[in-house]
Amino acid sequence: MDGLVVANYGSTSLVEDGQGQLSLCTSRKSTGRIVCGDRVTWRSTGNAEGVIEKRLDRRTVLQRHDSNGKSRPLAANIDQVIVVSAPEPPLDRYLIDRYLAAAEIISATPSLVINKMDLLDPTGIRLMQDRIREYREIGYQVSFTCALSGKGVEELSGRLKVGILVGQSGVGKSSLIKRLLPDRDIAVGTLSDASGLGRHTTTTTTLYHLPGGGDLIDSPGVRDFRLRDVDPVALAHAFRDFRPFLGQCRFHNCRHDREPGCALSIAARNCEINSRRLKSYRNILHS
Ligand SMILES: Nc1nc2c(ncn2[C@@H]2O[C@H](COP(=O)(O)OP(=O)(O)O)[C@@H](O)[C@H]2O)c(=O)[nH]1
Ligand SMILES: [Mg+2]
Ligand SMILES: [Zn+2]
């Protein structure tokens, strides 16, 4: 049968069938790594258990690199990447840039959410708006939310196909999802608790169906989301604001890293692009 992987921990996955029934599955070695959002063919072994036999082709896969440089798939078949930040833990624009670039590279639509807005007084709100203005200017949608009161949260689910919430641990990703699933148990969470997967809730990526349609994936906090081994051409293109200037450098193979006649350096000097974003690009290039 066909199924959708709604949670995964190591070689154990929760697979949902066409009727919404969940089974705890192991996977054959031959399937390769299975992640949340994967479409699979699987066989039931009874008792809400089964075996994944094959992973179907992925439309997209969001990868991350851990501190020793190994790449790990985080989730598959994603349309939207929602980068969640908050006043606390402190906003990290370089981290935001890496998530945005990772989303652009897989052609998913990125957007930003600033959660925990209740922590800010009017002056703090104004300062926060100043700090994220650059993203609005580039054309990214920015929403402000409070997961505790639910303020601004409902808008997040609008026009969602398959989205993933990413961002530092503690910014409120899981709280936002709980808000969007108001009157029902988080069924997957409950089942993964019963099965023992729940012991790993902080390290398990989980997909939820929203009542209004669309799916949202909760991912564990990644302290340091890295991008590695990205081709410089693809990386420059992943900085959406750079695109109008690409192809205008003196050298056709310019890496936009202090080369003379670099159109991006010139654009930054003329304030046509944000020099912080160029620095962010160069940080990734050198990592
Ligand atoms: N004040 C405030 N606290 C929040 C908000 N959203 C989440 N929190 C708190 O922040 C902490 C981390 O939330 P959690 O959803 O686990 O973050 P995650 O690690 O990103 O999933 C918890 O103690 C939440 O109660 C919010 O909008 N305002
Ligand atoms: Mg969480
Ligand atoms: Zn250049």
Q: Which ligand is nearest to the CA of 152?
A: 1
Ligand 1 close to Cβ of residue 174 (< 6 A): yes
Q: Check whether 191 has a pLDDT greater than 80.
A: no
Q: What is the CATH number of the domain that holds 112?
A: 3.40.50.300
Average pLDDT over residues 215-241: 87
**Protein residues near ligand 2, an ion, with CB under 5 A:** 173-174
pLDDT at residue 183, rounded to an integer: 55
Q: For the chain, how many structural domains are there in total?
A: 3
Q: Check whether 150 has a pLDDT greater than 90.
A: yes
- Tens digit of each residue's pLDDT (9 = 90 or more) over 77-126: 999 999 999 999 999 999 999 999 999 999 999 999 999 999 999 999 99
Residues 6+ apart with CB under 8 A from 52: 3, 5, 13, 15, 25, 26, 27, 28, 31, 34, 40, 41, 42
One domain, residues 70 and 212: yes
To test ligand 1's pocket by mutation, which of 151, 175, 176, 222 has the most ligand atoms within 8 angstroms of CB? 175
One domain, residues 89 and 210: yes
One domain, residues 118 and 244: no
**How far lies 22's CA from each of 4, 14, 19, 106, 188, in Å?**
9, 6, 9, 29, 8
Q: How far is the CA of 254 from the centre of ligand 3 (A)?
A: 5
Residue 228: which pLDDT band, with cuts at 50, 70 and 90? confident
Q: Compute the chain's Rg from CA coordinates.
A: 20
One domain, residues 186 and 144: yes
One domain, residues 261 and 141: no
One domain, residues 137 and 240: no
Average pLDDT over residues 210-238: 85
One domain, residues 82 and 204: yes
Average pLDDT over residues 138-165: 92
pLDDT at residue 17, rounded to an integer: 95
Domain end among 218, 253, 276 = 218
Q: Which ligand is nearest to the CA of 118?
A: 1
One domain, residues 70 and 116: yes
pLDDT at residue 185, rounded to an integer: 45
Ligand 1 close to Cβ of residue 205 (< 6 A): no
- Tens digit of each residue's pLDDT (9 = 90 or more) over 47-83: 899 999 999 999 999 987 776 777 788 899 999 999 9
Average pLDDT over residues 242-254: 97
One domain, residues 199 and 276: no
Q: Which two tokens stand for residue 85?
A: 């930040």
One domain, residues 45 and 120: no
Average pLDDT over residues 152-159: 86
- Cβ contacts of 25-28, under 8 Å, gap ≥ 24: 25/49, 25/50, 25/51, 25/52, 26/51, 26/52, 27/51, 27/52, 28/52, 28/53
Q: Which domain holds residue 26?
A: 2-55
- 73 with 219: CB under 8 angstroms? no
Sign of CA dihedral 116, 121, 127, 133: positive
Extended beta strands in the chain, E state: 2-9, 12-16, 22-27, 39-46, 49-55, 61-65, 71-76, 80-85, 109-114, 142-144, 162-166, 205-209, 215-218
Residue 227 belongs to some domain of the structure: no
Residue 226: which pLDDT band, with cuts at 50, 70 and 90? confident
Helix (H, G, I), strand (E, B), or coil: what is residue 46?
strand
Q: Check whether 176 has a pLDDT greater than 50.
A: yes
For residue 60, the tally of other CB atoms under 10 A from its CB is 17
Ligand 1 close to Cβ of residue 88 (< 6 A): no
One domain, residues 9 and 108: no
Q: What is the CATH number of the domain that holds 36?
A: 2.40.50.140
Helix (H, G, I), strand (E, B), or coil: what is residue 107?
coil
Q: Check whether 211 has a pLDDT greater than 80.
A: yes
Q: What is the CATH number of the domain that holds 245?
A: 1.10.40.50
Q: Name the least confident of 150-154, 263-267, 279-283.
A: 150-154
The closest alpha carbon to 98, from 83, 114, 87, belongs to 83
As a whole number of angstroms, the distance between CA 135 and CA 115 comes to 16
Ligand 1 close to Cβ of residue 221 (< 6 A): yes
Average pLDDT over residues 202-220: 85
Q: Check whether 35 has a pLDDT greater than 50.
A: yes
Q: Of all atoms in ligand 1, which is nearest to the CA of residue 169?
A: 19
What percent of the chain lies above the pLDDT cut of 90? Answer: 70
Q: Check whether 194 has a pLDDT greater than 60.
A: no
**How far lies 169's CA from each of 75, 101, 112, 249, in Å?**
17, 19, 16, 39
- Mean residue pLDDT across the chain: 90
One domain, residues 209 and 138: yes
Q: In terms of pLDDT, which residue wins out, 229 or 169?
A: 169
